[in-house]
């Protein structure tokens, strides 16, 4: 953000003028370079400046090295002696002014000669100021401060937008190029958002410039807030660092860059969050404005490999989107556009899916290894989509979490599973358990105990028949909270299972504390059986661990006879998998269980 503190800050690093809060002028961090053939002189000047609080010095007593050093160090100000052997201060000034990189570096010329000729000559060569030798400490300090302050002011004029204080296009593009050059950038995606807020221009045309400026300032603050969100904040927006992430690119145009994004889903989520934040109404004096922003999004790698090519892609996308007036977010890549459209559409349809009776439960039998009897079923949700057909949970559960629909879907699943299985019992079927998966957000929400109580009460299903499946990552995230929740569920009489065991990280000491009844070994471990001895040894260890903690152990994803033989031999209690049956609709599941009951009779 723009720092307006150039002149106001005391040069003394201690107290401010009121003698209260410590305030250090940013000028004191400027790099001061000295070129003088007399070491005593450079030491003296450095001491004076250090007394004032300056810390950053580059010194040479050999003027032949000066040009190279200047290019490397890029100082904020150069103190240059005019009379030096081999290369004079005049020679150096002339060389600097001929160099595009060094042309605008401010130079204070140190000269014992009071001759008007040499002063004029130095001025003609572009010297910024003079300082007479012997050096007067107060004059030195003031001249250095003034020169640096003017330089910073000039840089600000060149690099920042005066209305919002945001960096301008020039600084922004330089920052993006730097981000792209960072080696770690290759790990994730970098998204560049080109954002048009037409109301900024409309307000200037229809109301006045101050009102338009006020809106631009609000947009700027909202973008800054977004860019300051930590990496964990859903979309993976990065924590702020020194490089500018937000910029004003034109009267109605802003830029935002977000890097280290996990995948294209994170880019889409980010875009939606930016759109939502900027679309909030803005109250300006007597006007309420509801901005309708247009976003163009370009992603690296893919849509460009430099700031300018990425900007071009993002701007083009934004213009295209606005012209078509179809979507407020337009991606430079056609695939991302399709993905985002699909997700947006799907999201809005998912909202009403439960009400429209489009959710279904399929059940996968859980079988006793010893006798092949179905001892329970796992309820797995599906979405009967009017166009896309039966959709598996992997395609909509994450989306439901993003959209805050977890509790609606989660409660429906619990109620439906309890209702359906209680109905089977009423129709005379023997008692079997039903396992329900819950999502992390249901665990975090804190009312799962209540939801379970209600589902059991409404359906009449005995609590002992209900199994709640939790995963390792849910449990390890907030151990005290989970422990409380699990104890509550246990007090109702519900069975608790740890699902997909082995895919997350479990601390054994915690695992011991949790009141778990069942351990389900993830199917990725079973898929390798019977194979190398290490795989078998691993599964054997997990089974022994489960048993030693008093849990029954279920193998998930058993697909072959050989796998079944292996898990049986290793001591598993129950199994699920395509070998016995895939998840099936309730009617088919009922038939399966009934046919076993008939055999048993
Ligand atoms: P999960 O709880 O581990 O469920 C088992 C998944 O493995 C199911 O996929 C099932 O179809 C699949 N599966 C079963 N046997 C085999 C096999 O032999 N081979 C292979 N390759 N796969 C097998 P599904 O139904 O797609 O569910 C995926 C995941 O979605 C579930 O994993 C669970 O984590 C989640 N899920 C399902 N229903 C719900 C729900 O109602 N709520 C929540 N929060 N998550 C759910
Ligand atoms: Mg499960
Ligand atoms: Mg599982």
DSSP sequence for 87-115: S-HHHHHHHHHTSTTTTT--EEEEES---
Helix ranges, 253-405 (H): 264-279, 307-324, 334-351, 397-402
Distance CA 254, CA 373 (A): 64
Question: What was the pLDDT predicted at 482?
Answer: 92
Q: What is the pLDDT of residues 403-421, one digit of tens each?
A: 778 888 999 999 999 999 9
| CA 333 to ligand 1 center in whole angstroms | 32
Looking at per-residue pLDDT, the higher value among 509 and 499 belongs to 499
Helix (H, G, I), strand (E, B) or coil at 306: coil
Ligand nearest to the CA of residue 557, numbered in listed order: 1
| CA 211 to ligand 3 center in whole angstroms | 57
Residues 332-358: what's their mean pLDDT? 79
Mean model confidence pLDDT for the chain: 86
Beta bridge partners of 57: 32
Residues 469-483: what's their mean pLDDT? 88
Distance CA 400, CA 416 (A): 18
575, 555 contact by CB (below 8 A): yes
Tell me the whole-structure pTM to 2 decimals: 0.57
C-alpha dihedral sign at 589, 591, 594, 596: negative
| CA 543 to ligand 1 center in whole angstroms | 21
- Around ion ligand 2, which residues have CB less than 5 A away? 437, 469, 499
Q: How confident is the model at residue 87 (pLDDT cuts 50, 70, 90)?
A: confident
Q: Residue 237's Cα: distance from chain center in Å?
A: 3
Distance CA 24, CA 1 (A): 17
Looking at per-residue pLDDT, the higher value among 129 and 240 belongs to 129
Other CB atoms closer than 10 Å to residue 349's CB: what's the count? 17
247, 255 contact by CB (below 8 A): yes
Peptide bond into 301 cis (omega under 30): yes
Other CB atoms closer than 10 Å to residue 167's CB: what's the count? 24
**Interhelix angle 137-159/39-52, nearest 10 degrees:** 70
| CA 437 to ligand 2 center in whole angstroms | 5
H or E segment to which residue 389 belongs:
strand 389-391
Residue 219 has pLDDT above 80, yes or no: yes
Q: What percentage of the chain reaches a pLDDT higher than 70?
A: 90
Q: What is the pLDDT of residues 176-201, one digit of tens each?
A: 888 888 755 556 888 999 999 999 99
Ligand 1 closest atom vs CA 576: 15
Residue 8 has pLDDT above 70, yes or no: no
| CA 457 to ligand 3 center in whole angstroms | 27
Ligand 1 closest atom vs CA 559: 18
Ligand nearest to the CA of residue 521, numbered in listed order: 3
Distance CA 147, CA 533 (A): 75
| CA 522 to ligand 3 center in whole angstroms | 6
Question: What was the pLDDT predicted at 241?
Answer: 45
Give the list of residues 6+ apart from residue 62 with CB closer than 8 angstroms, or none. Answer: 37
Pocket of ligand 1 (CB under 6 A): 364, 380-381, 392-394, 397, 413, 437-439, 469, 499-500, 523, 556-559, 576-578, 583
Question: What was the pLDDT predicted at 479?
Answer: 87
Mutate to test the pocket of ligand 1, among 390, 405, 406, 437 (most ligand atoms within 8 A of CB): 437
Helix (H, G, I), strand (E, B) or coil at 448: helix
Q: What percentage of the chain reaches a pLDDT higher than 90?
A: 49
Question: What was the pLDDT predicted at 4?
Answer: 34
Question: What was the pLDDT predicted at 238?
Answer: 38
Question: What was the pLDDT predicted at 96?
Answer: 93
Q: What is the pLDDT of residues 262-320, one digit of tens each?
A: 888 888 888 888 999 999 999 887 778 899 999 999 998 888 888 989 998 898 888 87
Beta bridge partners of 296: 194, 330
């Amino acid at each position: 953000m723009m720092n307006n503190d150039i002149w106001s800050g005391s040069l003394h690093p201690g107290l401010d003028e009121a003698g209260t809060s410590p305030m250090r002028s940013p000028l004191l961090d400027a790099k001061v370079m000295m070129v003088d053939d007399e070491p005593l002189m450079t030491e003296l000047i450095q001491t004076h400046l250090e007394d004032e609080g300056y810390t950053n010095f580059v010194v040479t007593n050999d003027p032949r090295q000066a040009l190279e050093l200047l290019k490397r160090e890029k100082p904020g100000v150069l103190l240059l002696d005019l009379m030096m052997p081999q290369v004079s201060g005049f020679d150096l000034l002339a060389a600097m002014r001929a160099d595009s990189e060094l042309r605008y570096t401010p130079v204070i010329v140190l000269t014992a000669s009071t001759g008007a000729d040499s002063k004029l000559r130095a001025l003609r060569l572009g010297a910024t100021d003079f300082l007479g030798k012997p050096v007067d400490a107060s004059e030195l300090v003031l001249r250095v401060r003034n020169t640096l302050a003017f330089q910073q002011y000039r840089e600000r004029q060149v690099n920042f937008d005066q209305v919002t204080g945001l960096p301008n296009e020039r600084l922004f593009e330089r920052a993006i190029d730097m981000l792209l050059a960072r080696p770690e950038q290759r790990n994730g995606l970098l998204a560049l958002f080109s954002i048009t807020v037409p109301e900024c221009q409309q307000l200037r045309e229809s109301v006045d410039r101050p009102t338009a400026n006020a809106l631009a300032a609000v947009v700027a603050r909202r973008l800054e807030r977004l860019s300051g969100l930590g990496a964990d904040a859903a979309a993976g927006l990065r924590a702020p660092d020194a490089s500018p992430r937000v910029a004003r690119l034109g009267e109605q145009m802003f830029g935002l860059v977000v890097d280290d994004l996990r995948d294209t889903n994170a880019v889409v989520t980010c875009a939606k969050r930016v759109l939502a934040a900027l679309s909030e109404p803005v109250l300006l004096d007597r006007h309420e404005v509801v901005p309708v922003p247009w976003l163009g999004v370009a992603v690296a790698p893919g849509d460009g490999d430099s700031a300018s090519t990425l900007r071009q892609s993002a701007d083009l996308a934004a213009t295209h989107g606005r012209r078509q007036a179809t979507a407020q977010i337009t991606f430079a890549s056609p695939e991302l556009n399709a993905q985002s459209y699909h997700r947006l559409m799907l999201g809005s349809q998912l909202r009403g899916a439960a009400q429209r009776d489009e959710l279904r439960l399929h059940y996968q039998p859980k079988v006793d290894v010893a006798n092949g009897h179905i001892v329970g079923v796992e309820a797995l949700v599906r979405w009967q989509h009017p166009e896309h057909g039966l959709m598996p949970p992997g395609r909509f559960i994450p989306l439901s979490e993003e959209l805050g629909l977890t509790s609606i879907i989660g409660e429906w699943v619990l109620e439906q599973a309890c209702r359906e299985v209680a109905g089977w019992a009423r129709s005379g079927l023997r008692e079997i358990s039903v396992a329900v998966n819950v999502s992390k957000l249901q665990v975090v929400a804190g009312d799962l105990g209540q939801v379970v109580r209600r589902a059991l009460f409404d359906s009449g299903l005995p609590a002992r028949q209900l199994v709640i499946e939790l995963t390792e990552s849910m449990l390890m995230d907030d151990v005290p909270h989970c422990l409380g929740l699990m104890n509550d569920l246990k007090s109702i009489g519900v069975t608790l299972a740890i699902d997909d065991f082995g895919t997350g990280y479990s601390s054994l000491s915690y695992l011991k504390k949790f009141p778990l009844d069942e351990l389900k070994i993830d199917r990725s471990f079973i898929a390798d059986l019977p194979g190398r001895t290490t795989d078998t040894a691993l599964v054997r260890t997990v089974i022994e661990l489960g048993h030693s903690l008093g849990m029954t152990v279920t193998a998930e994803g058993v697909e072959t006879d050989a796998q079944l033989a292996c898990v049986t031999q290793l001591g598993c209690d129950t199994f699920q998998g395509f070998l016995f049956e895939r998840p099936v609709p309730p009617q088919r599941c009922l038939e399966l269980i009934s046919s076993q009951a008939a055999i048993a009779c």
